[in-house]
Amino acid sequence: MNLRRTGWLMMLVLFGVPVGPAGAVEQEGDGLVEAREAMHRQQWSRAIRLLTEVIRDEPEHLEARYLRGICYGERGKHPTLESRIKDFLSAGGEDFQFILARDSLYRDVLYQYAVLHRYAADYPEAIRLGHAQIRLKPDLAHAHVGLYKFYWRFIVETNPDKARRWLREQETDYAAFFIGEIHRRGTLNFSADAVYADLLKRPSDLSTSALLLARARVHSAWHKPELATAFVEQAIAAIKSETDALFLFNDLQYIVSPAELEAFNQIEDAAGYRRFFETFWAQRNPMPAAPYNARLVEHYRRLRVAERDFLFRGFRGWYRNWYTGDAQDFPITYALSSDFDDRGIIFIRHGEPDDFTIGEASSWMYKDSLMIFHFAPTCVAGICGVTKHFSPVPRGRIWGGRLVGIDAFEQERMSKDYLDKGLTSDRHRWPDRFKIMEIPHIVAAFRGQDRRTLIEVHYALPLGRLSRALDEPDDTVAVEVGMAVHDSAWRRIGFSRKINRLPPQNDRAALAFDRFQIDVPPDSYSVALHGRSLQTPLLGAHTFGYRAPRFDGPGLKMSDILLADAVIELEDTQPLGRDDLYVRVNPVGRFSTQKPVFVYFEIYDLARSPEGQTRYSVTYTLTPQQRGGLRGLLQQDEGAIALTATEQQGAIRSPVEYVAIDMKDVPPGAYELTVTVRDERTGATVERGRPLDVRDE
């Protein structure tokens, strides 16, 4: 099964420019080739002239009439006079009727004819023709999604009671589904979900994936993130065809990047589509070890807001003002969001702005990503509506000195940069109801089993803050913590999630320490750690890249070092292994001058003498992070101090090492503790470091 379509053709379909499968039916001459190129550039008038010349020479040329019908529709949907709508759409209709009279199975001609009626706002006829097309050719994926959009526009632009009455007269699964959509848009979510659930219980003309996505939207509105995520995951698992995949894409097209769009265009089978959507949501999830995908849930929240506040009832195009006069000024992803105005496009990608102005024109500012967007009323023939489009410069009140740019030319240049960045990226922002907490953590690598690497993530939960956030006193503080690891292809290598129930603490600075471990092959990974209170809105999430080092092969090697408040021997045996010790790691990295700092690490593959003995030395060095941090100790402006040095010998090639370092003479400040190991038999050396903060407490 080959589901690939050519790049420009797929883009036009996704942009709402309806075209059929690529490739010519008849032999193409120069005129037809030039016309296709003009269509690719959205030069509809030029394409019409070229195709008319072809038809003048060959009146029965069905491909030329097919393409000219499309061009008439695209040219006629952006007029300034109503008569021009009728002229262009009528001309396009004549071309499609000509084809239907000779070959009703020609390409997707019924669907293209339906699009003309959609442009003329004749939704009942567009829907009728759309159904006729998929009855004749049920494998036309874009026709299924196009029919879905006809229904969607019908309920959006029609009085709900009138739309509901008309839908009840139709005997199609699509009509039943969109009665549910009317309920959902009216916040009657229980009634809507009952419709979707009923359609899922029996064979339906609608894609199973589309029905599952509808249930995800309802459960997202009910603030049931686990179920919303589960329904999307089920929709992905249910993909069996290109039609299913296009319904999934229809839901996330508003935040796709150009690279992701290109990757989607290249997929050839259902398994590839499933993998695409799994990766799409995995790499955006800020808490991949949690029972729900927070970014996915936030996406559906933004879609609900955009449906309410930013619907765009026109057609996406470049005609609206001089700033949008050239499609080349915008990234290719701009036209994917044809359902919403320009404010809606930015809102779905980036969420609520950090600051904004109010008035006929408005500007939005996103502080953390340093982006500013200006919006002005859409005006056609001197008549301005409420829909807002991008403007290169602010109109009306603005933030004064906080707006970078000294003149209109500079502001226009910067606006283009913001648009390119804003329309090709998206970001997660936690809703206001959540309160963000930091979870101090460190990562360390050790030799694992079977030539693998053991990754340890040590973390500290802010137990004092969690305790104080409780509305009422409780016997325990319940916190969900989790860690997930993905490889470079965003396949999940492993994850762990647990519920910690801790005694509450009055001390605001109280911490609770714990760790996660996972064995992985040496490679690059994305590691995510999260913690969220099950009693309050507090949560913390951290995601970072990590390269797991190799510990196999010849030569001296060393693990990362751990800085701890204590190391306790659990067994009275020698030699000690890792399992014989309790290392109370301090992931905050803050230590008192009144207590020693314990340092733990492991050495691998020391060389042996002919008698089987090893000999090695270890040096511990403290280096100030700021020049002069050790002046009182060293009486010099720069340099490091060797705190202690030891030399040992034995029969173990890979010993475990730990030591307590006295810090009472160290001035408070930020330092780097470096451990250097030298194999005295080979001269090989290796070192590892870890920052720490010394305080006089």
d(CA 209, CA 225): 18
Intervals of CATH 2.60.40.3880 along the chain: 554-697
Higher pLDDT, 331 or 498: 498
Strands, E, within 273-395: which ranges? 355-356, 362-366, 371-380, 383-391
Higher pLDDT, 319 or 487: 487
Place 80 in a pLDDT band, splitting at 50, 70 and 90: low
- pLDDT at residue 473, as a whole number: 76
Mean pLDDT across 354-376: 85
Tokens representing 646 are 């030891």
State the number of CA atoms in the 13 A half-sphere of 614 facing the CB.
20
Per CATH, the homologous superfamily of domain 433-552 is Immunoglobulins (2.60.40.10)
Place 369 in a pLDDT band, splitting at 50, 70 and 90: confident
Top CATH class, 1-146: mainly alpha
Would you say residue 203 has pLDDT above 60?
Answer: yes
Tokens representing 459 are 């973390």
Go through the chain and tell me how many residues it has.
Answer: 697
Terminal-to-terminal C-alpha distance of the chain = 70
Place 18 in a pLDDT band, splitting at 50, 70 and 90: very low
- pLDDT at residue 639, as a whole number: 58
Intervals of CATH 2.60.40.10 along the chain: 433-552
Mean pLDDT across 405-430: 83
State the number of CA atoms in the 13 A half-sphere of 686 facing the CB.
17
Place 318 in a pLDDT band, splitting at 50, 70 and 90: very low
Which tens digits make up the pLDDT trace of 598-634? 999 999 999 999 999 999 999 999 999 864 444 434 3
Q: Which CATH architecture has domain 554-697?
A: Sandwich (2.60)
Q: What percent of the chain has pLDDT over 90?
A: 70
d(CA 266, CA 9): 12
- Number of helices (H), then strands (E), belonging to the chain: the values are 21, 22
3-state secondary structure of 319: coil
Would you say residue 328 has pLDDT above 70?
Answer: no
**Which helix or strand (DSSP H or E) is residue 566 part of?**
strand 562-569
Intervals of CATH 1.25.40.10 along the chain: 1-146
Beta strands 562-569 and 557-558 are unpaired
Place 386 in a pLDDT band, splitting at 50, 70 and 90: low
Place 332 in a pLDDT band, splitting at 50, 70 and 90: confident
Least confident of 490-494, 642-646, 658-662: 642-646
- pLDDT at residue 626, as a whole number: 67
- pLDDT at residue 329, as a whole number: 66
d(CA 165, CA 458): 61
- Are 658 and 583 spatial neighbours (Cβ–Cβ below 8 Å)? yes
Higher pLDDT, 512 or 625: 512
CA distances from 58 to 20, 31, 55, 63, 601 (A): 21, 12, 5, 11, 83
d(CA 465, CA 478): 13
- Are 282 and 233 spatial neighbours (Cβ–Cβ below 8 Å)? no
d(CA 361, CA 538): 36
The residue written with tokens 């874009």 in the block is 142
Place 81 in a pLDDT band, splitting at 50, 70 and 90: low
Q: What percent of the chain has pLDDT over 70?
A: 87
Least confident of 140-144, 216-220, 360-364, 511-515: 360-364
Would you say residue 518 has pLDDT above 90?
Answer: yes
Would you say residue 5 has pLDDT above 80?
Answer: no
**Is the link from the previous residue into 575 a cis peptide, with omega within 30 of 0?**
yes
Taking alpha carbons only, the member of 592, 474, 454 closest to residue 521 is 454
**Which helix or strand (DSSP H or E) is residue 299 part of?**
helix 294-309
3-state secondary structure of 541: strand
Which tens digits make up the pLDDT trace of 433-476? 899 999 999 999 999 999 999 999 999 999 999 999 998 877 89
- Are 375 and 342 spatial neighbours (Cβ–Cβ below 8 Å)? yes
Place 349 in a pLDDT band, splitting at 50, 70 and 90: very high
Would you say residue 2 has pLDDT above 60?
Answer: no
- pLDDT at residue 224, as a whole number: 96
